[in-house]
Amino acid sequence: MELNPTIADPRLQLIATARYFYQQGWMVGTAGNLSARLADGSFWITASGKSKGELLLNDFVLISPDGKIEASATQVIPSAETAIHQLVYRLFPESLACYHIHSIESNLVSRLVEGDSLLLPPLEMLKGLGVWQENPYCVMPIFANHFQVAQIAADIEQRFAVTPPQISALLIRDHGFTVWACSLEAARNYIELLDYIFRYMVAAIRLGINI
């Protein structure tokens, strides 16, 4: 695969989105990862150890549908969470983007419950996530964090086989959240909407408001 960009190269949009997320404080240091799926099932993913505020075109690795590296710049390796992106694209083949960020609020709300799901408040913002019911009951799955990302991916696959998620998102306790969508724009919207909901939850608790 040619590493030089074309007009349709999703890396250009991923670079802009990563810079925006970095500016929001959601991808500090080298945290977080973004990917975009291509028509043949392969996907570009951010390389490990790169600042998301300063990404270049060569800071991405092309991964085949079976998880093999197809193309990369010299001396870069794919994100440690490539296994989760690969699983998302396999479970949800309509998805063209998968984003993972580490926001303070997402880590805080992952601690609000001891169980494996988080009840989201019935805010209007849920409509942007595809939840259109009046006073909806919407839960977001929470997964334990493991040093071995393959174990997180295995947990996700096992649970989703039994209980598909209500929304295209999941929390990893103390490790941020991941979204997937049918376009890069939609995935960015999901990140923003969920961050708003998490900030609302944290603020409500601080003010003593029942959520």
73 pLDDT above the threshold of 90 = no
Q: Given this model, what pLDDT does residue 37 score? A: 98
Q: Given this model, what pLDDT does residue 67 score? A: 86
Kindly state the percentage of the chain with pLDDT values over 70: 95
Would 163 be classed as within a structural domain?
yes
72 pLDDT above the threshold of 70 = no
Residue 42: domain span? 10-207
pTM of the model: 0.93
Number of domains observed in the structure of the chain: 1
Residue 176 sits in a domain whose CATH number is: 3.40.225.10
Question: How do residues 103-143 score in pLDDT, each as one tens digit?
Answer: 999 999 999 999 999 999 999 999 999 999 999 999 999 99
Would 16 be classed as within a structural domain?
yes
d(CA 41, CA 126): 29
Contacts 24+ apart (CB under 8 A), 76-81: 76/47, 76/48, 76/50, 77/47, 77/48, 77/49, 78/45, 78/46, 78/47, 78/48, 79/33, 79/35, 79/45, 79/46, 79/47, 79/48, 80/48, 80/149, 81/33, 81/149, 81/152
Would 5 be classed as within a structural domain?
no
Length in residues, the chain: 211
d(CA 5, CA 71): 13
Q: Where are the beta strands (DSSP E) in the chain?
A: 33-37, 43-46, 60-63, 69-72, 97-101, 117-120, 138-143, 169-172, 177-181
State the pLDDT confidence band at 2, using cuts at 50, 70 and 90: very low
State the pLDDT confidence band at 210, using cuts at 50, 70 and 90: confident
Would 103 be classed as within a structural domain?
yes
Would 166 be classed as within a structural domain?
yes
1 pLDDT above the threshold of 60 = no
d(CA 197, CA 75): 39
Question: How do residues 28-51 score in pLDDT, each as one tens digit?
Answer: 999 999 999 999 999 999 999 999
Would 38 be classed as within a structural domain?
yes
State the pLDDT confidence band at 7, using cuts at 50, 70 and 90: low
Phi, psi of 97 (to 5 degrees): -150, 145
Q: Given this model, what pLDDT does residue 5 score? A: 58
State the pLDDT confidence band at 70, using cuts at 50, 70 and 90: confident
- From residue 190, alpha-carbon distances to 53, 98, 106, 181, 198 in Å are 20, 10, 13, 8, 12
State the pLDDT confidence band at 74, using cuts at 50, 70 and 90: low
Mean pLDDT of 77-103: 96
**Cβ-Cβ contacts under 8 Å for 90 (sequence gap 6 or more):** 65
Would 4 be classed as within a structural domain?
no
Name the binding residues for Zn(2+): 100, 102
Would 127 be classed as within a structural domain?
yes
The tokens describing 114, both together, are 């001891």
d(CA 138, CA 148): 29
d(CA 88, CA 107): 21
d(CA 70, CA 156): 25
